[in-house]
Each structure stands twice: as C-alpha cells, then as structure tokens.
Amino acid sequence: MTDRVVKRSIPSRETSDGAGVRIRRSIGQQPTIRLDPFLMLDEFGSEDAADYIAGFPSHPHRGFETVTYMIDGHMLHEDHMGNRGDLRNGGVQWMTAGRGIIHSEMPQQESGAMRGFQLWLNLPAAEKMTPARYRDIQPGDIPVVSFDGGRARLIAGVLTLAGEAHSGAVTGGTTEPLYADVQLDPGGAVTLPVPSRLDAMVYLYEGTASLGDSALERQAASILDDGNQVSVRAGQEGARLLLLAGRPINEPVVQYGPFVMNTRDEIEQTLRDYRDGVLAAEQPQAS
C-alpha cells in the first residue's frame, strides 16, 4: 500500500454567489483550478443572516451534478420538475442537472448558523444530456462508519475498513465518487483506502491534522498525489475534514457560469436553449 501525499494546496478564497451569499471557494476559483472530475468546491458558514439570507433564487444548470451537504441550517430546494426538498442539519441534496434543470435554494431561517458545502461534479459527454434527476438524502440515510479514533459519514462511494466494505448513501456512477466527512478525536488517526484509479483531495475545515509529514492547511483543498490510501492524524484539538475522490473523465471542459459542456458550440447551443425556454424541456424521442 502506498500513502498519498499532498501535491498541491489550494487555499479557499472569499467570494459571493447567488443573490449575495458569502462563501469560500477553493476548487473552481479559476477555470484552471480544478481536479477532474470535480469542478468546484464551495464552503459556506456564518452565524450572520446577512451573509446567507438572500439565498440562491431560480437559476439554470446543464452538464454536471451538484452535491449540497448541510452541516448546520435549513434550506429549501425547488425545481421545474416539481421537486421540493428540505435540506437540514446533516442532510444532502444530490442533483443531476443533465440536459437541464432550473431550481432555487433558499434559506428557511432568519437567524442562527448556516454551514455546509456544495460540490460540483462533472458528467462525461455521453451523460451531459441525460434527463435531470434530484435526490433528497436524509441525515439518517447517511451511513456512519466508526473506527478507533473517530468516525466518518459516508455520503458517497465505498470504504473498506478492517476487511469490511461500507457503502455510502450514493454508490456507482461513471466517476465513482467517494465523499466522506471524517471526524477525528484529539490525536486520533486513520488510514482510508482510496483506489489508485481515483483522483483525490482532502479539505480540512475544523481543528488541525497532518497527512504523513505534512500539516494540512485549514480551509484549503489539499490535492493528493498518486497512491492507494490516505493516512491522516488529528492534532490535540481533533479535526473534521472532507475526503473527496473520483475517476477522472479526461475530456475537455468548457464552462460558462452554470453550464458545463465539452465545446464552445455546445455552450452556444445551451445559451440558445435557455433563451428559448427549452433548456429544461424533455428531450425529443428519436423516431
């Protein structure tokens, strides 16, 4: 087994999105700062309602998936398909935009903490025009894998510990996403297998931790080198971090705001579809 080490650290930068929601963006802050198949990772967190109350009014997407993980707070998802999902503490919303979706994400609280992450996961060309899908994952449906020194909430993928395979709330998919929220006790340590075919990163968002001989930078996407396992140890205050991995797609990425395709012509067609009101229409059946 070969430990993965930190190849590059991408500090998150403060910015805003939606109608003025304050966020910190690491992956995706520039078109060249990505980790195939991940397009963007945003962290949001504030106890000041002014930082989040305006939310994300109705807007479109095409060509990728969004995964929203709510650690604290309450947000409502609504889309053109009639889906309505309450995202609360510990819950996840997994949305596949595919051919096109128009949705909103609006806070359902006027005070208190709102904290979580949104991840954008690319789709291969063959799946970019599939019908849109939406899944509301309740906190109790996310498996918790316990180990000596901590625990992990397994949102997606499979983790094998002590010879036992644990499946997350979401499994499969072309990119084989692995998404775990790992919590380590003070001084706790764990080695998690991550197949060498997957690109991987970790994002430390609470406490202190090290990966091998390298201290992890807080609120930064730590891109990992090749290997087949991740060994992390918490400092004396404990730690919480995201472990993210996925199979690279290795295709061109052309992004225009909320649209992610493979060519400029496809982006131009997407803009026409949105302007003409057919972006989210059902794809015509072949005759």
- Binding site for Fe cation, by residue number, is 59, 61, 103, 105
Average pLDDT, the chain: 94
CATH class of 6-246: mainly beta
Question: CA gyration radius for the chain?
Answer: 19
- Contacts of residue 169, defined as CB under 8 A and 6 or more positions apart, other chains included, come to 92, 137, 141, 142, 143, 154, 155, 156
Measured CA to CA in angstroms, residue 219 lies from 183, 192, 210 at distances of 15, 21, 14
Q: How confident is the model at residue 18 (pLDDT cuts 50, 70, 90)?
A: confident
Q: Give the whole-angstrom CA distance, residue 245 versus residue 56.
A: 27
pLDDT at 283: 52
DSSP string, 116-164: EEEEEEE--GGGTTSPPEEEEE-GGGS-EEEETTEEEEEEESEEEETTE
Q: Give the whole-angstrom CA distance, residue 117 versus residue 214.
A: 24
- Give the pLDDT confidence of 248-284 residue by residue, as tens digits: 999 999 999 999 999 999 999 999 999 999 998 765 4
Note the pTM of the prediction, 2 decimals: 0.95
Q: Over 50: is that where the pLDDT of 112 sits?
A: yes
Give the pLDDT mean for 218-240.
97
- Binding site, by residue number, is 59, 61, 103, 105
Domain boundaries along the sequence of the chain: 6-246
Q: Give the whole-angstrom CA distance, residue 241 versus residue 182.
A: 5
Give the pLDDT mean for 152-177.
95
Can you tell me whether residue 49 is helix, strand or coil?
helix
